Structure 1
């Protein structure tokens, strides 16, 4: 009777799988923010402190980046402003806003991590570096 354990190809494939799991661990882990300030992140029972982490700068409070927002359609109304002079043509009035564009601006992030946030962590092969890549929804 045929036994799959007698198949040398299956045995070889099993050895390759075992070695792959040992020598090529999964490089990404999911952690949970336990405290925001100071930052601590738990991966199961393993807790990482801020000094143990490298963090994608996009995720940090006060991160700044330049931007260019091409002119695009918009809705809104300008603030009411009086023109003075007593002439009706200069009376207080507002205008519809139809377009907006920001040719050279800067945005600043206002927050970073909150307790309970899930984060994707890249782990170095030697398990000495932990890099927070992004937050997860």
Structure 2
């Protein structure tokens, strides 16, 4: 029999406060980084989380491509938003194609997209469960 893997604590209506299982990444006093949090959301909410994140990623890439092809000076805009000059210059090499430039800017905004996914997906799933589109979660044995 394989040893059981500890999972982070998720409280639902069927669990009581005494049944908390600690998250191993928080035992050292460290908060998990955004990619670890995103993996947890993908595992917990499955296709909804993946679909939502892919959707906002495609919209983000499309918006940045549209901005670059429209002639918006993205370098000046990124400096105004507070991005570090060395980071911007490393991502936006001179003479790159329109798509590569849009993709580089899209990658700079990855933390924003991840944060939106982390916040939005639990609300979406709760809403879908309330409206009856999704089944309620099964209680842990």
Fold shared by both chains (TM-score > 0.5): no
Specify which structure has the higher proportion of helix.
2
Pairwise TM-score range, normalised by the shorter structure: under 0.3
Q: When the two structures are superposed, what TM-score results if normalisation uses the length of structure 1?
A: 0.25
Specify which structure has the higher proportion of strand.
1
